[in-house]
Amino acid sequence: MDNINNLIRKNIRSLTPYSSARDEYKSNQGIFLDANENPFGSLNRYPDPYQWRLKKILSIQNNVEIKNILIGNGSDEIIDLVQRVFCEPKEDKIIICPPTYGMYEVYANINNLEVISVPLTKNFQLNANEILKQNAKILYLCSPNNPTGNSLENLEYIIENFSGIVFLDEAYIDFSDTPSLVSKIKEYPNLIVSQTFSKARGLAAVRIGIAYANENIISVMNKVKPPYNVSELNQQAAMQSLADENNFKSNIQLIKSERELLKKSLLTLDFVKKIYPSDANFLLVKMENAIAIYNRLIEQQIITRNRSSVVENTIRITIGTPQENQQLINALQLVMS
Ligand SMILES: Cc1ncc(COP(=O)(O)O)c(C=O)c1O
């Protein structure tokens, strides 16, 4: 890919971004009468617009330079931001590979972009030939994929040969044995890898997403994002989580071992037809009469996700605590009897 700049929307290339008070005077020493804040209180100041302290920790832990990192208000914000940077409404197209995470398409509809669908194959893998025939600004890939749970193959071949931006959503990567492609942003100028604190870090309420990409892409995304997109409380919660890697790792181990236990228990039930391989913190389960079972679970106040509209007769089950998983199995046994 010669020049990423050519992919950026014209009005964004020439955009003069908002210059916040915190951009103009960066030190935290002094009497601050510049941002129309209230002088009283403990959360009275605007947060750091570029989240430098948080990025510094991420940079060290992931061996990525700060200039290659953008923090979003959840990765959903990043999915949208990328469309607004690269795609001209009513003109440009994005590619999705269903069944996959729904927000790529929802944002494309909001941003008035055409959506090209290149479904996954029977084994939930990418149809590389079909993808590479398309002309689109952004290709959204999700690995491990939601809702199928599997990791996608041939990613690098596609990134290398696709003529637009590849947005690789790694929301579930920490549950997978397949390595992240974050280190590949150096090699592929068209690659954006997104991750989130909502899954393995257990901070869905906090809303922290991360984009890793080439410096040009990050700097233009910084121009377009709202100046104070990540609150001070969110930044602090994210840094606290990064300070406790033991807790993070043991949590992941527990979820992964529960995933295997739940799989075994589910397979003892007559109406369970198939459990798809999962590298994530959920299982996609094919059942006889999945919708009826989904409803019977709700009657027992166990809420799963009915995915039958995207993969016939399936429900997606998030791995809960050991106790919750046992309650699910008890409830399913009751349904069976
Ligand atoms: C694949 C995928 N990407 C992104 C998200 C959204 O993540 P965030 O909470 O960081 O906005 C989800 C949430 O379920 C997801 O499944």
242 Cα–ligand 1 center, Å: 19
- Angstrom distance (rounded) from CA 159 to CA 107: 22
Q: Residue 11 has what pLDDT?
A: 97
Three-point CA angle 191, 140, 110, nearest 5°: 120
Give the β-pairing of 165-169 and 191-196: parallel
Q: Where are the domains of the chain?
A: 4-243, 246-336
Q: Name the residue of 79, 104, 196 to mutate for ligand 1: max ligand atoms within 8 A of Cβ.
A: 196
The ligand 1 atom nearest the CA atom of 72: 10
Is there an atom of ligand 1 within 6 Å of 74 CB?
A: yes
Token pair, residue 245, equals 């890697």
- How many residues are recorded in the chain? 337
Give the β-pairing of 272-275 and 191-196: unpaired
Other residues' Cβ atoms within 10 Å of the Cβ of residue 4: 18
Percentages helix, strand, coil for the chain, rounded to the nearest 5?
40, 15, 45
CATH code of the domain made up of 4-243: 3.40.640.10
Q: Name the residue of 71, 73, 78, 103 to mutate for ligand 1: max ligand atoms within 8 A of Cβ.
A: 103
Token pair, residue 329, equals 């199995």
Q: Residue 336 has what pLDDT?
A: 87
Question: Domain 246-336, CATH 3.90.280.10 — does that match?
Answer: no
195 Cα–ligand 1 center, Å: 8
18 Cα–ligand 1 center, Å: 28
Token pair, residue 129, equals 């030939």
Is the separation of the CB atoms in 272 and 333 below 8 Å?
Answer: no
- Give just the sign of the alpha carbon dihedral 124, 189, 174, 139: negative
Q: Along the 337 residues of the chain, how does pLDDT read in single tens digits?
A: 558 999 999 999 999 999 988 888 888 899 999 999 999 999 999 999 999 999 999 999 999 999 999 999 999 999 999 999 999 999 999 999 999 999 999 999 999 999 999 999 999 999 999 999 999 999 999 999 999 999 999 999 999 999 999 999 999 999 999 999 999 999 999 999 999 999 999 999 999 999 999 999 999 999 999 999 999 999 999 999 999 999 999 999 999 999 999 999 999 999 999 999 999 999 999 999 999 999 999 999 999 999 999 999 999 999 999 999 999 999 999 998 8
> 3-state class of 104 per DSSP?
helix
Is the separation of the CB atoms in 132 and 154 below 8 Å?
Answer: no
Q: Residue 1 has what pLDDT?
A: 52
Is there an atom of ligand 1 within 6 Å of 100 CB?
A: no
Q: Residue 27 has what pLDDT?
A: 85
